[in-house]
Structure 1
């Protein structure tokens, strides 16, 4: 299907880029591919052992300082002592307050967490029920050892299928097909860089849309958190990011009496805080977002979770501890700290609004609450056939927790679909992404 015109796409970068879970395969699961690329991929350059003395100050001067930034005071819990990540950040997804950070603007290889930017850029462009027949050129240039969902040449897939492949299996093959639909990899990289600039994710430079290690490809914990926040503004993004497992189309074969039959197979999300693992339980209240792992990046992860009316975003980049699932363990500890500290700790910075929204807030008569009516939330459709949302996570009282449907159904959908989570009261939202206030 033809891609939208360039001018239309660029306008969407402004109007849909507002507020705001690649994939790290479990080493114990033999069948799970490396979701961000290849452990044997040649790294562009070894990352420096220490952060720069001076980094970006987007979001506040303290976020540009190396080391841990937190305002500890009476009643504020101490940070976990066993954090080994090169960079991390804990932020309130509603207010945008950064509760604590460590080398927040250190520009590091992002691995497949970069697919969040890919999705936030391209999701609005193609209807989820649109179909595309894969050609050999669509799959050209995929890096050696890349994670793959299993797309086959000459088979037809819906856009919904392809996004499931991107989010659940971090399929670089799915990224390449969607990029081909968007006039190619080069054009998609350009679009992603433009969108990062609009989001004020200025540490980010895209070279490969799938997050595969490439010379000069970088992002930061701060930027990945901005990107996740913007992505979670979109209904489809929330659905895909929180889907635990789904059916994916396989090969078309001849069945009985000569009829053709399309096989399918199950894919599972490799975000271990969402799906669980032998040494990592499903995190209470988790709703995504994305994980990644490459030679150059190490393990990376951005997650969103809700408890007690608070919605937090945590990004962790490259833990130095070699323990299995360490990136998830450190993320969980930071979430635990953040939920205890929220409302008690003074922020050290903020998540800035996209440029378009910041400009809109300066217009005369702008509604500072951002809660006025308008069109939908930037995504379309509902959960597709065969996809299953977040599995229930037990709460402290043993009942099925808020993780059961965060971002998909029930009361938590209100948070993620346009309530407190989506309304940064410091600046208004463009009409396209405001919550509908009436049917």
Structure 2
């Protein structure tokens, strides 16, 4: 039975409430859940919104917490993206702290994100923000940019065969196996719904390989006016030069929301995902059965006004999110970067920002998401951004230009099990490095 997105998510949240009470979940189903493990690099979560008044990430994200951004042997780290002479979206969006129109109340307390933005999805008006052009790692929210490129180029009806490379990719995986048969429609749903890094890899191979896919993604971002964004991996795994901003995430997501197929995938609660055959070269191997794949966006389940979004996590990016909600015919976008699940789960912080945005009058604006228009009306921007190269191809960084201060996903065969897992861990599902 098909339900409108808002009704469907509300129903899914009701299932979550029942499942949380311990009903309808067998021990076998519970054993299918692989709980996300706390990162050994996790630092104490901030109790208040971080102070960004000195613009610590104007040029580059904070230093990584691990070795994920070290260039491959023989390759060099990229130089930081240039900062446009005129702030994209309007002059007020250059501020690194709170950006509010006169008379607009202070934002909710207990927002842990270092950077966030609230905007009107339809008009593009930015209603409130904090360090909107601060550069952080996007984690899996960058999959929205990959989806934009893929929708333009791949045949959704084409069937591809899964590979060992897909199956062995790091981080969260949808469940692609070598020899399995998957339509591109399934891969795109696995990318959007379940944040599958294996799906991202399979899609990238059809776009000309990883480096060519990154070139296309970065070119697309530049065309949208998302000039803080450089994709270093198609999936959102951290890599040399990976960068985006709360402003850019909103610009990219707004563009994706113009595609009704993308919106439909965001609003799909679960799908049947195929299994894959035994490896004939491996004695004792066996066929893997298909399974039910659920939508992993907790905001969708827990916030009735949600109409879809994309969350992400890596050790260095922390929690990230971009999504939309609708109330009384008004649609908003919220994006958050570098957030923590303290003092409250990130999904609740996102919900608070949505509620806050719905309380702001539509004429109380501080900028616009019509990024290209704001650039065209200002001074010319470095056109080399439109030809942004993948990290493997960029020249050696100039140290003087650097800022001082960036197990296979286990899916469930039971919808109740999936929901319980989300509630048990209080917020977005995290993999070892990316969600």
User: What TM-score results when the alignment is normalised by the length of structure 1?
Assistant: 0.64
8 Å CA contact 2:274–2:291 kept in 1: the answer is yes
Answer yes or no: is the 8 Å Cα contact 2:277–2:288 preserved in 1: yes
Q: Do residues 207 (structure 1) and 232 (structure 2) align?
A: yes
Q: Which runs of 5+ in 2 are unaligned?
A: 1-8, 10-15, 21-29, 43-49, 59-82, 279-285, 378-414, 416-435
Say whether the 8 Å CA contact 1:41–1:213 is kept in structure 2.
no
Corresponding position of 1:118: 146
Gaps of 5+ in 1: 1-20, 43-47, 254-259, 276-281, 360-387, 389-439
d(CA) in 1 for partners of 2:214, 2:111: 33
| Residue in structure 2 matched with residue 220 of structure 1 by the alignment | 245
Contact 1:316–1:327 (8 Å) recurs in 2: no
Q: Write the distance in 2 (CA, Å) between the matches of 1:158 and 1:204.
A: 29
Matched, 1:97 2:125: yes
Change (3 A) 1:63 1:283: same
Do residues 351 (structure 1) and 369 (structure 2) align?
Answer: yes
**1:107 equivalent in alignment to 2:107:** no
**2:355 maps to 1:336:** yes
Is 1:52 aligned to 2:55, yes or no? yes
Residue of 219, 237, 258 corresponding to 2:262: 237
Q: Which residue pairs with 2:96 in the alignment?
A: 66
Distance in 1 between the 2:215 and 2:367 partners? 29
Offset of residue 215 of structure 1:
2.1
Deviations 1:226-264 (A, max 9, x none): 0000001112111111212111111247xxxxxx99842
Task: State which of 330, 333, 343 in structure 2 corresponds to 1:313.
Answer: 333
Counting only pairs closer than 5 Å after superposition, residues 1-400 of structure 1 correspond to structure 2 as 31=33, 39=39, 50=52, 52=55, 57-73=87-103, 76-138=104-166, 142-143=169-170, 146-252=171-277, 263-275=289-301, 282-320=302-340, 322-323=342-343, 326-343=345-362, 346-354=364-372
> Quick one: structure 1 residues 180 and 41, their matched pair in 2 at CA, closer, same or farther if it must change by over 3 Å?
farther
Separation of aligned partners in 1, 2:343 and 2:33: 20
TM-superposed deviation, 1:283: 1.2
Q: Once the 2 structures are TM-superposed, how far is the Cα of residue 49 of structure 1 from its aligned partner?
A: 7.6
Q: Normalized against structure 2, the TM-score is what?
A: 0.65
The whole-number CA distance in structure 1 between the counterparts of 2:180 and 2:230 is: 33
Q: Whole-Å Cα distance in 2 between the matches of residues 307 and 297 of structure 1?
A: 30
When residues 150 and 40 of structure 1 are mapped into structure 2, their CA distance, relative to the original with a 3 A threshold, is farther
Deviation, structure 1 residue 354: 4.3
CA 1:138–1:82: 2 relative to 1, 3 Å: closer
**How far is the alpha carbon of 1:82 from its aligned partner?**
2.2
Q: Determine the C-alpha separation between the residues in 1 that align with 2:34 and 2:268.
A: 17
Helix, strand or coil at the partner of 1:311? strand
CA distance in 2, matches of 1:304, 1:340: 15
Q: Relative to structure 2, which stretch is displaced further, 48-57 or 183-192?
A: 48-57
CA RMSD of aligned residues (A): 3.4
Higher relative contact order (CA 8 A, sep 6+): 2
CA contact (8 A) 2:229 2:245 kept: yes
Specify the SS of the correspondent of 1:85.
coil
Q: Partners in 1 of 2:106 and 2:51 — Cα distance?
A: 26
Q: For the Cα contact (< 8 Å) 2:154–2:207, is it kept in 1? A: no
Runs of 4+ in structure 1 over 6 Å off? 355-359
Deviation at 1:356, TM superposition (A): 12
Distance 1:262 1:342, change over 3 A: farther
Tell me how many residue pairs correspond in the alignment. Answer: 311
**CA offset digits 1:105-133 (Å, max 9, x no partner):** 00101110011111111122122221111
CA distance in 1, matches of 2:337, 2:151: 25
TM-superposed deviation, 1:168: 1.7
CA distance in 2, matches of 1:235, 1:182: 22
Are the structure 2 counterparts of residues 323 and 232 from structure 1 closer, same or farther at C-alpha, using a change threshold of 3 Å?
A: same
CA contact (8 A) 2:137 2:243 kept: yes
Partners of 1:58 and 1:201 lie apart in 2 by 8
Cα distance in 1 between the residues matched to 2:324 and 2:133 = 19
